[in-house]
Structure 1
Amino acid sequence: MSVAPSFRLDGKRALITGAGRGIGRAIAEAYAEAGAEVILCARTNDEIESLAHSLQAQGGKASSLVSDVTDIAGFAALVANLPPVDIFVNNAGTNRPKPLSDVTEDDYDTVLDLNVKAAIFAAKAVSTAMVAADVPGSIINMSSQMGHVGAANRTLYCASKWAIEGFTKALAVELGPKDIRVNTICPTFIETPMTKPFLDDPDFKASVLDKIKLGRIGQVEDVAGAAVFLGSDASSMMTGSALMLDGGWTAD
């Protein structure tokens, strides 16, 4: 008789960047509920410290780690002093949507430095520690449906997420022999503080809903469920893959 796979995260330690709000916060809450010890990472202390206290009050294990992941050396030094983690959610990211004709070098540096450079070197720091400690694990790179299609006014964002998709596949090949899995989560538009200004525009929201076959804007809980799956033993044979949470956007 086969044994049902477990979606529990008991005994696992998870590091989540961009954990103070939105998708990162929802994943942290879901991980704590599933039994993981969560390390909440963000640039400012207030949000992650408040969340850590909230999770602890509910019986969870949580701590805060103040770090800007674009400080490559600083983040790596902090990771080197942590106990090895079993799950890394590489979630910090940004966007500056505008036509290419209006894109500046500062826009490029802001989006690509965080979404690509910082993400790659954050994964390097965490995976190096995993390998050194001989810890099997799961690295989850936060991508997007925009890592699989194109969209007007999102040349930089699409470029960054297509880069993360390629990086993820290559790192999965590299780390597979170490029993470290590497996958992406690819959400559609999710209601978060970052997307609120765009979704407040009725015309823009209507254009988004026209593309989403399920007919609704995504919620952070939709992403958190996928993150629990990828962090758990239920996904133990999954690596180098993209988990689409796009409501059918890329289906046609």
Structure 2
Amino acid sequence: MSFNVAGRGALITGAASGIGLAASRSMLGKGLQSLVAYDLNPSLPDVAEELRKEFPGTEIITHVADVTDPTSLQAAFATPLDGGRPLTIVSNNAGIGGADWEKTLAVDLSAVIMGTSMGLARFKKEAAGGVIVNVASMAGLAPMSFDPVYTAAKHGVVGYSRCFQHLIKKGIRVNCLCPAFTDTPLVQGLVDDPKFGPAGKMAIESLGGLIPMENVVSAFMGLVENEDNNGAVMTVTNAHGIMPMKFPLDP
């Protein structure tokens, strides 16, 4: 069965660039009617204005704030949509890497848990069902030795996202996206970092280079639109394309 995004409302963190922006544009192109875009980047209002011009008639609401701020995040999740439209799509996508391990855990894991909890609460309140896609990484499935804290955070996102399959009874699905290195500002920042750069470049080369954004967006849309994906962990690599991850203890 297919979950049609047309006419729906969505909230995406990290929406100003990278996977968040590309996923937003893809859903708007398929008729998404309301988008709550959340990002710390001050360019977010300008990005939103470009989207309004590209997709006239859509409602785009911006929240420029830190995803680790629970008050700001809760305000975004409480945003009313035009016509009382329910919020039925959430993507916890914001992420960082780098040397500040506490901030990395706060953004890459704690904020994902907060965003999922807030999304589920709104889904249940509005009783319209919905789908959450948490963006992790291949680092959530295999060690990335040059950034172990990022690896730990993304492993946490994968494990956490797999724990909600029982909510399908209420029409709610939670899935996880695990792309390898994608051409995003986060990855470029990692490569340019003097501490992590050389190892990062080697890791990218070992996986066949950067993944085209369209491949990652295709996997994202599959997790949203294909209702068979419930508790799914979808990997995206240049070597194997888009593939669901199988775990040893899965039934």
Q: How does 1:1-252 map to 2 (within 5 A)?
A: 8-37=4-33, 38-44=35-41, 46-60=42-56, 61=58, 62-83=60-81, 84-96=86-98, 107-173=100-166, 175-199=167-191, 204-210=200-206, 212=207, 215-232=208-225, 235-248=226-239
Q: TM-score, normalization: structure 2?
A: 0.83
Task: Report deviation, 1:50.
Answer: 1.5
Contact 1:172/1:183 (<8 A) preserved? no
Which deviations, in whole Å up to 9, do the C-alpha atoms of 1:73-118 show, x marking residues without a partner?
3311331233431110110111116xxxxxxxxx221011111111
After superposing the two structures, state which structure 1 stretch, 68-77 or 12-21, moved more. 68-77
Corresponding residue for residue 248 of structure 2: none
2: CA distance, partners of 1:22 / 1:208:
17
Structure 2: gaps of 5 or more residues? 246-251
TM-score by length of 1: 0.83
Cα deviations by residue, 1:45-86 (Å, 9 ceiling, x for unpaired): x42212221122123423322232211133113312334311
* Whole-angstrom distance in 1 between the partners of 2:75 and 2:5: 26
Take 1:131 and 1:64, find their aligned partners in 2: how far apart are those partners?
23
Q: 3-state DSSP class of the match of 1:185?
A: strand
Moved more, 69-78 or 145-154: 69-78
Deviations 1:151-176 (A, max 9, x none): 21221011101111111111333x22
Q: For 1:88, what is the secondary structure of its paired residue?
A: strand
User: RMSD of the alignment, in Å?
Assistant: 2.3
Aligned length: 231
Q: 1:94-152, CA deviations, whole angstroms, 9 ceiling, x for partnerless residues?
A: 1116xxxxxxxxx2210111111111011111110111110111100001101111121
Tell me, in whole angstroms, the C-alpha distance in 1 between the residues paired with 2:170 and 2:236.
28
